[in-house]
Amino acid sequence: MSDIEIRRAAFAWLGEQVDVHGQVLSRDLLSKGFPYKGERIPLVSPQGIFKPRQMELPLSITTVADGPYQDAFGPALLRYRYRGADPNHRDNAGLRELIGRRVPLIYFHALVKGKYLAVWPVFVVGDEPASLTFSVAVDDALALRAGVDLSTKAEDVVADIRRGYITATVRRRIHQAAFRERVIDAYRQQCALCCLKHDELLDAAHILPDADPDGEPVVPNGIALCKLHHAAFDRFFLSVRPDYLIEIRQDVLHETDGPMLKHGLQGMHGQRIQLPTRMALRPSPDLLAQRHRRFLELTH
């Protein structure tokens, strides 16, 4: 089997899975992999650097949630740790070989246990044995789908600028996706207001937005909400007080409409939201107080 053909088939299959399941994929799905010429090609394994037996060179690298390695994004590149401390370990040697051959691979970032954000194509662009790290850059998946060869030397003039921009964009996307998964996991996959449990209809609402100096992407600055209640929260139809009670805007309380308004909003006035079991993951009363003051300013 051709290594590059399997690699391109893996990229195409990942694109199909993201179209179906969204940007976050389960480990079960990735471990099962995809069919190719009568065989099944997995995309991940317990090892962070993974080469399926049908291939010559590694197909994917994975950052594991709470794993032993401290992989991190710098200003424009991912710093990916060697496997172990031996620079010549076969997995490290395999990644090093990708640099010279300009071969793309897949990066899986664990958001929470068992859930991954898939990023492709990525290129290993640097090797630093002294710090036991590789430098990895993200490139343009749309161009790859269109058949553009991203590995040619003719690309070198613009590749660094493009890859730096795309890698920084992906870093932000990973942080946003991690925030969503951690918040929804803390609320046991249900809306804090109505207890809706369909994952596809759940969001992680920021108490204070990203642009706010205190609006960090951490669980105490988030609440798991269904899409209806997220929109109502963002547009100040409702607020959550520091004592975790729901307050509906006064004009909305006095409206007359159908059952959705009555049960979906008005009936929740004065009710307590569902909270994470762990105290440390509950919404910060200080952040709720800041937002509730804004709610009162806008609605009274």
HEC sequence for 48-75: CEECCCCCCCCCEEEECCCCCCCCEECC
For the chain, percent helix, then strand, then coil, each to nearest 5?
40, 20, 35
The verdict on 145 and 260 lying in the same domain is no
Which pLDDT score, from 0 to 100, does residue 154 have? 42
| CATH label of the domain that carries residue 64 | 2.30.280
Based on the fold, state whether residues 170 and 207 are members of the same structural domain: no
Are 79 and 164 in a shared domain? Answer: yes
Extended strands (E) in 154-268: 202-206, 222-226, 238-240, 246-248
Among 132, 165, 184, the domain-final residue is 184
Give the structural domain span for 100: 3-184
* In contact, 136 and 61? CB cutoff 8 Å: yes
Residue that has been written with the tokens 């204070």 in this structure: 208
Q: What is the pLDDT of residue 141?
A: 59
Whether residues 95 and 199 share a domain: the answer is no
Question: How many structural domains compose the chain?
Answer: 2
Q: Identify the domain boundary among 184, 203, 223.
A: 184
User: What are residue 247's DSSP bridge partners?
Assistant: 239
**What is the model's pLDDT at position 229?**
97
pTM of the predicted structure, to 2 decimals = 0.76
Domain co-membership, 212 together with 83: no
Q: Any idea which residue has 């440390």 for tokens?
A: 280
Considering the domain architecture, whether residues 59 and 102 belong to the same structural domain is answered as yes
In angstroms, rounded to a whole number, what is the distance separating the alpha carbons of residues 113 and 45? 14
| Residues 116, 102 share a domain | yes
> Is the alpha carbon torsion for 92, 93, 96, 101 positive or negative?
negative
Tens digits of residue pLDDT in 271-297: 999 999 999 999 999 999 999 999 999
Cis ω before 242 (30° cut-off from 0): no
Looking at residue 76, what is its pLDDT? 64
The position carrying tokens 């951490």 is 218
Question: What's the pLDDT at 153?
Answer: 47
Residues 179 and 195 in one domain: no
Helical segments of 128-226, H only: 141-145, 156-186
Asked if residue 270 and residue 144 are part of one domain, the reply reads no
Q: Do residues 93 and 151 both lie within one domain?
A: yes
Are residues 81 and 229 part of one domain?
Answer: no
Helix (H) or strand (E) holding 32: helix 27-32
**pLDDT at residue number 77:** 74
One domain, residues 202 and 108: no
Give every residue of the chain whose pLDDT is below 70, as ranges. 1, 65-76, 140-163
